[in-house]
Amino acid sequence: MKTVFTTGEAAKVCKVSQQTIIRCFDNGQLKGFRVPGSRFRRIPREALYRFMKDNGIPTEALESGKRKVLLVDDLIATGGTASAAIRLLERAGYAPRLPEGFDGLCCGQMLASKGLAEEANAMAESLEAALLAASDGGRLPVIMDASTCSARMQQHLAGRLKLYDFHEFAHDALLPRLHLRQQSGPVALHINCSVRKSASDAKLRRVLAACVAEVLEPAGVTCCGFGGDRGFAVPELNAHALRKIHDELPPACACGVSTNRTCEIGLTAETGRTYRSVAYLLEECSRPPGGGC
């Protein structure tokens, strides 16, 4: 699969003139880089794909041969990491799709945690139906970007549909296909309860180690204490669970990662450091040179 295009090749894919591509490159609409020591322009595949999508140009010619995957973005649980995940998947040669009506789908975990089992199961069944339809009956890999939701749906779908937590798919399928520029760090890592229960923490550690030279994992912290959305109403739970984290994070550690949005909210509030999904860090470290997306 071709990963970098000349302006002439990009023009053929887009079915426009080469001068149009050059003009868009030069004014910043089309991201890319120049070959060192020359004025030749080069355009990474993902930058060309984004340019085509932004300008309503059919992408079939660029997507031919790409592997398709289904991405489920739980907006409630993640705050919406789909944009970073989509860029990563495209960069690795995949053609991600979202299920129809994805912004209204939910695994039901928030209801299950409040004892509303019937309502929670109804939401999980609706999500299952959407996933089966969008994944061609389970033919496509399905990826979720929130570990608590992933754990619930993996249990719900056992034997019917293969579903990956995002960091699992990143470890198995994305790392071998991405060129990473490692950051120095330090970056704090929080292994949340769902990742521990699924025994996928080693994969998460390897993903982070590929991105950052110095990773800090506070030994005195297991659960963040946020308890789904309980931390919003009872912040003392969060403060008590993280009472030992302050002594283990040096001033040089300015940020952290995890795989569940509410955990990241609680960690950010308690430590004063920004915690976010590992998808954002992986996306940053895999950006091509020259400012491409």
Residue type, 241: A
Whether the predicted pLDDT of 207 surpasses 80: yes
> Which residue in this structure is represented by tokens 């979202």?
98
Whether the predicted pLDDT of 253 surpasses 50: yes
Residue pLDDT, tens place only, 147-204: 999 999 999 998 888 899 999 999 999 999 999 999 999 999 999 999 999 999 999 9
- Which pTM was predicted? 0.76
Residue pLDDT, tens place only, 30-50: 999 999 888 899 998 878 988
| Most confidently predicted of 10-19, 41-50, 221-230 | 10-19
Whether the predicted pLDDT of 76 surpasses 50: no
Q: In which band, very low, low, confident or very high, does the pLDDT at 3 lie, cut at 50, 70 and 90?
A: confident
Task: Taking residues 241-256, report their average pLDDT.
Answer: 94
Least confident range from 44-58, 66-80, 161-175, 210-224: namely: 66-80
| 67-72 vs 142-144, strand pairing mode | parallel
Kindly write down the DSSP assignment for every residue of the chain, as one continuous string.
---EE-HHHHHHHHTS-HHHHHHHHHTTSS--EEPTTS--EEEEHHHHHHHHHHTT---HHHHTTPEEEEEE--HHHHS--HHHHHHHHHHTTEEEE--TTGGG---SHHHHTTT-HHHHHHHHHHHHHHHHHHTTTTTS-EEES-HHHHHHHHHHTTTT--EEEHHHHIIIIIGGG-----B---EEE---HHHHHHT-HHHHHHHHHHHBS-EE--TT-S--S-TTTHHHH-HHHHHHHTTTTGGGS-TT--EEEES-HHHHHHHHHHHSSEEEEHHHHHHHHTPPTTS--
Residue pLDDT, tens place only, 117-150: 999 999 999 999 999 998 888 888 999 989 999 9
The proportion of the chain whose per-residue pLDDT surpasses 70, expressed as a percent, equals 94
> d(Cα 281, Cα 188) in Å, to the nearest integer?
12
Q: In which band, very low, low, confident or very high, does the pLDDT at 292 lie, cut at 50, 70 and 90?
A: very low
For residue 90, what pLDDT is reported? 87
Q: What are the chain's domains?
A: 4-60 (1.10.1660.10), 67-173 (3.40.50), 180-285 (3.40.50)
For residue 214, what pLDDT is reported? 97
